[in-house]
Amino acid sequence: MDVFSEVIGSMRTGRAKFARTRHLGRWGNRFGPHAGAGFHIVLAGSCWLVPAQGEPVQLSAGDVVLLPHGTAHGLTDSPDRTLAALPPDTDGPDDGDGDQDVGSATLLCGAYRLDHTQAHPFLRSLPQVIHLPAQLGQHPALRSAVDLLTSDLSSPQPGADAARPALLDLLLVYMLRAWLQEESSRRPGSGWHAALSDPAVAAALRQIHASPERSWTVQQLGALAGLSRTTFARRFTATMGLPPLAYLTWWRLNSAAHLLTRDGAPLAAIARRVGYASEFAFANAFKRQFGLSPGRYRRQQRQEPVQHDYDLAETLTG
C-alpha cells in the first residue's frame, strides 16, 4: 500500500488547468486566491514572485513554485510592484507597456483542483509557498518531468491530449517529493518525511489505509512495529500531528466522501466499508467532519457543474 500516492489522490480532483505565457517589458499578474494548488515553472528568462506576505522572491529559468493552499500571489518583472497593484490573471494578454524587450519570461502556470473539505493533514502541513530553485544536481526527477512537459508543449506530437495530463500529474508528485526531501534536511525527525521513514509510523499508516474498516486500537497498531501503546502513540502524534485513532477516523470519513462521490452503493454499505457498524453512527461522524449528512453530501457533489479537465493557452505580452 503506497500511502503517499493515496494521500495525493485523496486531495486532488480532476486534472490540472494550465497555460503557457511569454511576457516582455513591463508586466505583472495577480493570481488567486482559489480552491486549488497553484504552480509556476519559469521556462526561460526570469521574474519575481510577490507573495501575500513577505518579501518578493526572484525566480530564474528552471525554477518551480508550488502554492499548495491557493493563496493570493503575483508574478511580475520587477520587485517594486505590490500585489494589490497587479492586474488579475485572465489567461490572456497582460496590458503592460511593452516598449522594451526587457524583463522577458516564458512561464507555465496552472492549478490542480483540490477538495479542501477533505484536506489531508499532509496538505495542511505544507507552507504557503514552496520554491524549488533550479540547482545543478538537485531533484533530477523533477527536472526531467519539467523537461518532458516543456518539450511536449513546444513540439506537439500525436497523443498530446493523453501525455500532458499524465505529465502534470507526475509533476505534482515530483514537486511534493522534492519538498519532502528538502524538509527532511531542514527538520530531521519530524514531519511527513519522518513519518514515512519511521518503520512504526509507516507500518501503521499502511494498515490504516489498507483496512480502515478494522476496529484498530492503538495497542494493535503499535504492535505492528513491536512498540508499547504509549511509545507508539507518542511517536505517531509527534510526526503526524494527530493521535493514531484521530487519524484513523479522519481517513475513514475521507474515504467515505470519495465513495459517496464515485460509488452508487447504499449508505449502509459505505458505512460498513469504512468501519462503522451502523448507518446512524456513520452519519453522525460524517456530519461532524463535513457539516453535511452523507446523503446530502452525495447529492451536492453530483449537482456540481462539470468542469473542463484542462485548458492550454499560449499568449504573448509586450
Range in 32-36, 52-56, 60-64, 229-233 the model is least confident about:
32-36
pLDDT of residue 314 exceeding 60, the answer is: no
Q: What is the mean pLDDT of residues 246-253?
A: 93
SS3 sequence, the chain?
CCHHHHHHHHHECCCCEEEEEEECCCCEEEECCCCCEEEEEEEEEEEEEEECCCCCEEEECCCEEEECCCCCEEEECCCCCCCCCCCECCCCCCCCCCCCCCCCEEEEEEEECECHHHCCHHHHHCCCCEEECCCCCCCHHHHHHHHHHHHHHHCCCCCHHHHHHHHHHHHHHHHHHHHHHHHHHHCCCCHHHHHHHCHHHHHHHHHHHHCCCCCCCHHHHHHCCCCCHHHHHHHHHHHHCCCHHHHHHHHHHHHHHHHHHHCCCCHHHHHHHCCCCCHHHHHHHHHHHHCCCHHHHHHHHHHCCCCCCCCCCEEEEC
Fold annotation for 198-303: Arc Repressor Mutant, subunit A (1.10.10)
At residue 13, the pLDDT reads 64
- d(C-alpha 284, C-alpha 291), whole Å: 10
Per the listing, cell 519570461 goes with 105
Sign of CA pseudo-dihedral 125, 167, 15, 292: negative
CB count in 10 Å sphere of residue 31: 22
pLDDT of residue 217 exceeding 80, the answer is: yes
pLDDT of residue 57 exceeding 80, the answer is: yes
Q: What is the pLDDT of residues 25-43, one digit of tens each?
A: 889 999 988 878 889 999 9
Residue 262 banded pLDDT, cuts 50, 70, 90: confident
Residue 156 CA, distance from chain mean position: 27
Beta bridge partners, 306, equal: none
265: cell is: 452503493
- d(C-alpha 205, C-alpha 219), whole Å: 14
Q: What is the mean pLDDT of residues 205-209?
A: 91
Q: What is the mean pLDDT of residues 259-265?
A: 86
Instruction: Say if residues 65 and 40 touch (Cβ distance below 8 Å).
Output: yes
Per the listing, cell 497498531 goes with 221
| 163 or 122: which leads in pLDDT | 163
Q: What is the mean pLDDT of residues 247-253?
A: 92
Range in 2-6, 60-64, 267-271, 281-285 the model is least confident about:
2-6
Residue 186 banded pLDDT, cuts 50, 70, 90: low
Whether 198-303 and 3-187 are alike in CATH topology: the answer is no
Identity of the residue numbered 17: K
* Residue boundaries of the structural domains of the chain: 3-187, 198-303
Right CATH for 3-187 from 2.30.42.10, 2.60.120.280, 3.30.160.20, 3.40.1390.10? 2.60.120.280
At residue 253, the pLDDT reads 92
75: cell is: 508574478
At residue 161, the pLDDT reads 82
Q: How far apart are the first and last CA of the chain?
A: 50
How much is the pTM? 0.73
- d(C-alpha 44, C-alpha 28), whole Å: 16
Mean residue pLDDT across the chain? 82
Q: Is 275 left (phi over 0), alpha (psi -120 to 50) or beta?
A: left
185: cell is: 534536511
| Contact partners, residue 115, CB within 8 Å, separation at least 6 | 11, 13, 257
Q: How far is CA 207 from CA 3, 38, 81, 222, 278, in A?
A: 9, 32, 50, 11, 22
101: cell is: 524587450
Residue 122 banded pLDDT, cuts 50, 70, 90: confident
pLDDT of residue 222 exceeding 90, the answer is: yes
Range in 23-27, 51-55, 154-158, 314-318 the model is least confident about:
314-318
